C-alpha cells in the first residue's frame, strides 16, 4: 500500500511521505512506551514509594508530551498529503493520460480512468485521514507493548509473543478473503456500469427493432451479478471481521489467565499484576480497532492498487529532442509488421512510399488493416517490426508533439466538443485568424451548414456534435485539417455518412489539401480512389497491388474486381467519377 501511495503522490512528494511515515510510526512507539511507564508508576504507588512515583511521573509526563507532538506532526502531515492528493491527483492523471499511446483508450480503460479519478481520490484522502493512523497504531503500539512486557515481566511477555502468530494468521486469512470478494464486487460494479452505458447507447437500435420494452438481458444479468457480489462480500466479510476480534480477545484472556495463575502461585505481586494488565489493555485496544479496519484497509488497498496501476501504465516512449525532417511531407512504411496481439498479425511486411504533395488511396476488404495502417503513422501503437517514417524520420525518433504537428487526422468517428462550430474548427489551429477559420469552413462545406443555423459559426453543436449529421461532423473535421495545414493528412473517409452533397465538399477539400499536404486516405468513395496518384490494395495486412487507377484496371486483378463490384452497386457514382476526372 505504501508503494501505491508513493506512486500516486509522485516523485515530488516522496520525501514528505517518508517523513509522514516516520511520525506515523514514532507516535504509537512513544504511546506504547508511555503506557509501559504506567507500570513502574503504579508499582511505586502500590509500594508507597512517593519519591519513586514522582520520578516515574516526570518521565511519564515527558513521554506524554512527546507523544502529543508526534500525534500533531503525524496528523498535520497526513492532512497536508491528503490535500496534495486532492489538488494534484487529477492533474497528474491528466498529465499521464496525454503521454499514453492513443490505442490505449478503449471504452473499458476510459471507464476505469473515470472511476479511479473519483473513488481513487476519495480513497487516498480517506487513507490519510482515517485509516493509516489506527491501522499503523494498531500494529506498532501492541508491538511496543510486547517489548515493554518482556522487559517488565518476561513470562507475560512470552504469552504475548506466542499470541502474535495467531493474530497474524487470522489477520492475513480474513484480509485476503475480504480483498478477493471486494475485487469481485468491483468487477461486477464495473461491468454493470458499462452495461448501463451500452444500454443507453443501444437505445436507437433497440427501439428501431421494437426491443425496448423487453428489457436488456446483459444489463439485467450484470445488475443481478452485482447484487450477488455485494451480498457475497457482506456474507464473507462479517464472519472474518468477527474472527479477527475474537482472536484478539482470546489473546487477552490467555494473558489474564496466565497472570492470575502466577498471582495465585505468588509468582507476581497482585499490585504489579494490576499494573501489567493495565498495560495489556493497551495491547488489546489498538489491535481490536485495527482488526475492525482491516477490511476497509484491504478495500482501500485495492482502490489504491488500481489507481497506481493506471499511473504506472507505460507511456509512449518519447524523446525531447526535435528531429530533423530531411524530406518534409513524405510518408513511408519500411517492412512494417504489427499485430494487436502477437498471435494475430494485422499488418505483414508492409512497405509503401507516399511522396510529398501526392494522394495515396488505400482500399481493401473490411478488416484488411487499413485503419491500423493510419494508426501506426499517428503512433496509436508502435510497429512490432520495421519503420514508419514521416518527413523522412522514424516516428519514434521525434517528440510526440513534433509528430503531431506534422499530422492532421480526419477519422470516421469524429468527436466534436460541446462548443460552437467555430470553436470546434479552431481545434485545428487555435491561433488562426477569423478569416482563416471562415476560409477553412468554406473549403470543407461547413459554410453551407452555417447558413442554416441560427447563430452561424457561433452555434453550439451539443455534446459530441449531437446536433449535426454524420456527414456534417466529418465536414467540420475536414475543416479542422484544412485549418491546421499539416504536412501530412490522414483521412479515414466516412462510408455511409457521405451523401453526394457531403462527398462534393470532401472532394473539394481534398483538392485544396493536396496543394499543401500529402494525403493518405482510406478511401470509400470511388471519386476519391480515381483522384489518387497511387492506390494501394490491402488484403489480410499485405499490400497486394499498387499503381494508378488506370494501371490497376489494366492489371485486371483484385482492384479491377473491387472496382467492378463497387461500380455495379453504386453505378450512379460514375457521374462523380467523370466530374472528378474532368477537373484533373
Q: Which chain residues interact with ligand ATP by CB under 6 A?
A: 340, 346, 364, 366-372
Q: Work out how close the CB of 381 gets to ligand ATP at its nearest, in angstroms, rounded to a whole number.
A: 8
Q: Which is nearer to ligand ATP, 42 or 538 (CB)?
A: 538
Distances (CA, A) of 404 to 68, 392, 409: 56, 15, 9
Q: Where are the alpha helices (DSSP H) in 532-569?
A: 549-555, 558-569
Those residues with Cβ within 8 angstroms of residue 530's Cβ, 6 or more apart along the chain or in another chain: 549, 577, 580, 581
Q: How far apart are CA 282 and CA 277, in angstroms?
A: 9
Nearer to ligand ATP, 494 or 510 (CB): 494
Tell me how far apart the alpha carbons of residues 288 and 237 are, in angstroms, rounded to a whole number: 16
Complex with ligand ATP: residue 111 or 305, whichever CB lies closer: 111
For residue 495, count other CB atoms closer than 10 A to its CB. 12
Judged by CB, which is closer to ligand ATP: 23, or 338?
Answer: 338
CB of 547 to ligand ATP, least distance (A): 20
In the complex, minimum distance from the CB of residue 514 to ligand ATP, in angstroms, rounded to a whole number: 23
Residue 545 Cα to chain centre, angstroms:
41
Q: What is the torsional sign of CA 309, 310, 313, 319?
A: negative
Nearer to ligand ATP by C-beta: 252 or 381? 381
Task: Name the minimum Å distance from CB 366 to ligand ATP.
Answer: 3
Residue with cell 490494395: 537
How far is C-alpha 265 from the geometric centre of its chain's CA atoms?
64
Is 520 in a helix, a strand, or coil? strand
DSSP state of 548: -
Look at residue 231 and give its three-state secondary structure.
Answer: helix
> Given the complex with ligand ATP, which of 449 and 519 has the nearer CB atom?
519
Report the nearest approach of ligand ATP to the CB of residue 340 (Å): 3
Which residue, 122 or 340, has its beta carbon nearer to ligand ATP?
A: 340
Give the nearest distance from C-beta 480 to ligand ATP in angstroms: 21
By the 10 Å C-beta count (0-12 exposed, 13-18 middle, 19+ buried), 573 is classed as middle
Report the distance separating Cα 130 and Cα 481, nearest Å: 51
> Within 13 Å of residue 58, how many CA atoms lie on the same side as its CB?
5
Which is nearer to ligand ATP, 299 or 368 (by Cβ)?
368
Cβ at position 389, least distance to ligand ATP in Å = 20
Whole-number Å distance between alpha carbons of 491 and 408: 8
Report in angstroms how near the CB of residue 369 gets to ligand ATP at its nearest: 4
Amino acid at each position: 500500500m505504501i508503494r501505491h501511495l508513493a506512486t500516486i503522490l509522485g516523485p515530488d512528494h516522496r520525501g514528505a511521505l517518508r517523513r509522514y511515515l516516520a511520525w506515523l510510526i514514532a507516535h504509537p512507539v512513544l504511546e506504547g512506551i508511555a503506557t509501559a511507564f504506567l507500570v513502574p508508576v503504579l508499582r511505586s504507588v502500590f509500594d508507597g514509594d512517593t519519591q519513586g512515583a514522582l520520578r516515574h511521573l516526570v518521565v511519564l509526563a515527558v513521554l506524554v508530551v512527546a507523544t502529543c507532538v508526534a500525534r500533531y506532526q503525524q496528523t498535520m502531515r497526513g492532512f497536508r498529503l491528503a490535500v496534495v492528493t486532492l489538488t494534484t491527483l487529477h492533474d497528474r492523471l491528466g498529465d499521464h493520460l496525454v503521454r499514453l499511446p492513443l490505442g490505449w483508450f478503449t471504452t473499458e480503460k476510459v471507464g476505469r480512468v473515470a472511476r479511479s479519478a473519483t473513488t481513487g481520490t476519495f480513497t487516498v484522502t480517506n487513507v490519510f485521514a482515517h485509516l493509516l493512523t489506527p491501522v499503523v497504531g494498531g500494529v506498532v503500539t501492541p508491538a511496543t507493548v510486547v517489548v515493554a512486557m518482556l522487559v517488565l515481566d518476561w513470562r507475560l511477555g512470552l504469552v504475548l509473543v506466542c499470541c502474535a502468530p495467531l493474530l497474524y494468521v487470522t489477520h492475513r486469512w480474513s484480509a485476503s478473503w475480504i480483498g478477493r470478494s471486494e475485487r469481485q464486487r468491483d468487477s461486477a460494479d464495473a461491468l454493470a456500469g458499462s452495461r448501463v452505458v451500452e444500454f443507453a447507447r443501444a437505445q436507437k437500435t433497440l427501439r428501431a427493432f421494437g426491443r425496448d420494452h423487453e428489457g436488456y438481458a446483459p444489463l439485467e444479468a450484470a445488475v443481478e451479478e452485482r447484487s450477488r457480489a455485494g451480498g457475497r462480500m457482506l456474507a464473507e466479510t462479517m464472519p472474518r471481521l468477527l474472527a479477527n476480534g475474537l482472536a484478539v480477545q482470546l489473546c487477552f484472556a490467555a494473558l489474564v489467565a496466565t497472570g492470575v495463575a502466577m498471582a495465585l502461585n505468588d509468582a507476581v505481586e497482585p499490585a504489579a499484576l494490576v499494573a501489567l494488565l493495565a498495560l495489556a489493555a493497551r495491547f488489546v485496544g489498538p489491535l481490536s480497532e485495527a482488526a475492525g479496519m482491516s477490511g476497509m484497509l484491504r478495500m482501500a488497498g485495492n482502490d489504491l492498487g488500481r489507481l497506481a496501476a493506471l499511473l504506472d501504465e507505460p507511456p509512449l516512449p518519447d524523446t525531447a529532442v526535435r528531429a530533423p525532417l530531411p524530406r518534409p511531407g513524405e510518408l513511408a512504411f519500411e517492412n512494417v509488421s504489427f499485430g494487436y496481439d502477437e498471435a494475430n498479425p494485422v499488418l505483414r511486411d508492409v512497405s509503401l512510399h507516399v511522396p510529398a504533395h501526392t494522394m495515396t488511396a488505400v482500399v481493401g476488404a473490411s478488416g484488411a488493416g487499413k485503419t491500423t495502417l493510419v494508426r501506426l503513422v499517428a503512433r496509436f501503437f508502435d510497429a512490432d517490426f520495421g519503420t514508419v517514417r514521416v518527413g523522412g524520420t522514424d516516428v519514434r525518433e521525434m517528440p510526440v508533439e513534433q509528430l503531431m504537428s506534422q499530422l492532421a487526422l480526419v477519422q470516421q468517428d469524429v468527436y466534436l466538443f460541446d462548443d460552437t462550430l467555430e470553436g470546434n474548427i479552431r481545434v485545428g489551429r487555435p491561433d488562426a485568424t477569423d478569416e482563416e477559420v471562415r476560409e477553412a469552413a468554406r473549403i470543407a462545406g461547413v459554410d453551407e451548414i452555417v447558413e442554416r443555423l441560427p447563430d452561424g459559426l457561433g452555434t453550439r453543436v451539443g455534446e459530441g456534435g449531437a446536433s449535426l449529421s454524420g456527414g456534417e461532423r466529418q465536414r467540420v473535421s475536414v475543416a479542422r485539417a484544412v485549418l491546421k495545414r499539416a504536412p501530412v493528412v490522414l483521412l479515414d473517409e466516412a462510408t455511409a455518412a457521405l451523401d453526394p452533397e457531403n462527398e462534393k465538399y470532401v472532394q473539394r477539400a481534398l483538392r485544396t489539401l493536396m496543394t499543401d499536404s500529402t494525403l493518405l486516405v482510406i478511401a470509400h468513395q470511388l471519386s476519391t480512389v480515381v483522384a489518387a496518384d497511387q492506390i494501394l490494395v490491402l488484403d489480410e495486412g499485405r499490400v497486394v497491388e499498387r499503381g494508378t487507377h488506370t494501371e490497376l484496371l489494366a492489371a485486371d486483378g483484385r482492384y479491377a474486381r473491387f472496382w467492378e463490384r463497387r461500380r455495379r452497386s453504386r453505378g450512379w457514382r460514375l457521374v462523380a467519377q467523370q466530374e472528378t476526372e474532368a477537373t484533373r
